[in-house]
Amino acid sequence: MDSKEFIANVRRSLGREEGSQVTPSEATHMSLSSQQVESWAQAITRGIEAHADEYMGQLEKTAVEAGWRVARCATAAQAASHIRNIVRDVEATSVLHSAHPALEALHLGETLIGTGANLEAMVLNDTSDREVQRDALRQKAINADIGITGVDYAIAETGTAVLLARKGVSRVVSLLPPVHIAVVEKGQVLPSLDELFTLRRKEFLHNNLGSYMNLISGPSRSADIEYQLVTGVHGPGEVHMVLIG
């Protein structure tokens, strides 16, 4: 149906006139001006630094409750050796990772030497046709045993890893392999969902929202048969959250 006609019908059903004003409502965040969003976002950024330890402590607890296997590591070196142990335990032969700054400090290439696992970055380069590369990377993700990602944020309220669309971050590294490892650094943890969405609105106002966002809170699961919980239905059944700091 023509959109104008459709919307006109909705308007008629509501008994509203064409061009009638929207009654403002305090209930929705839409009422906040961009200056307000901007100053909130600044306050949030200051808050996550000031309360970094507190939020990390909360996340450690809620992430376990959400079904993550959580390891709190003091240093990047400890985190790297923990990841090496996971790769050995899983007997992985193929490990994929995406491009996150937090992963660089782990020197995954050196870390995994001697584990028998082949490590590859799921990142497009500029040297050849992107579509050809995309097909090849997709096939690698289908066959990979483990996917390692950083996060853009984590959420203390819900035990959530937040992954945003950005260059070098594939949608499927955290989805197709049966094991996912998410690396979280101190200072990335937001207290609740509300702060995340305020920051997202700020990015939107800066024209920087990106094409997707994934909130991941524990393993893929289902209780669709007799309410019995099973994990690893379509996504990973085993998920590790590695906290650094």
Span 215-244, contacts to another protein by CB under 8 A: 215-228, 230, 232-235
Residue in 161, 178, 153 with CA at minimum distance from that of residue 70: 161
Q: How many CB atoms lie within 10 A of CB 183?
A: 28
Q: How far is the CB of 120 from another protein (least distance, A)?
A: 13
The tokens describing 87, both together, are: 């790769």
Per CB under 8 A, the segment of 23-31, 51-59, 80-88, 105-113 that binds another protein is: 23-31
Question: Within positions 84 to 113, which residues make up the interface with another protein, using CB under 8 A?
Answer: 98
Q: How far is the CB of 8 from another protein (least distance, A)?
A: 8
Is 143 a binding residue for another protein by CB under 8 A? The answer is: no
The tokens describing 177, both together, are: 């392999």
Is 129 a binding residue for another protein by CB under 8 A? The answer is: no
Task: Give whichever of 28 and 127 is closer to another protein, judged by the CB atom.
Answer: 28
Is 132 a binding residue for another protein by CB under 8 A? The answer is: no
CA distance 218 to 190: 17
Is 58 a binding residue for another protein by CB under 8 A? The answer is: no
CA distance 167 to 60: 28
CA distance 215 to 162: 5
Question: Within positions 168 to 187, which residues make up the interface with another protein, using CB under 8 A?
Answer: 168-172, 175
Amino acid at 98: S
In angstroms, how far is the first alpha carbon of the chain from the final one?
Answer: 55
Task: Give whichever of 75 and 222 is closer to another protein, judged by the CB atom.
Answer: 222
Q: How far is the CB of 92 from another protein (least distance, A)?
A: 18
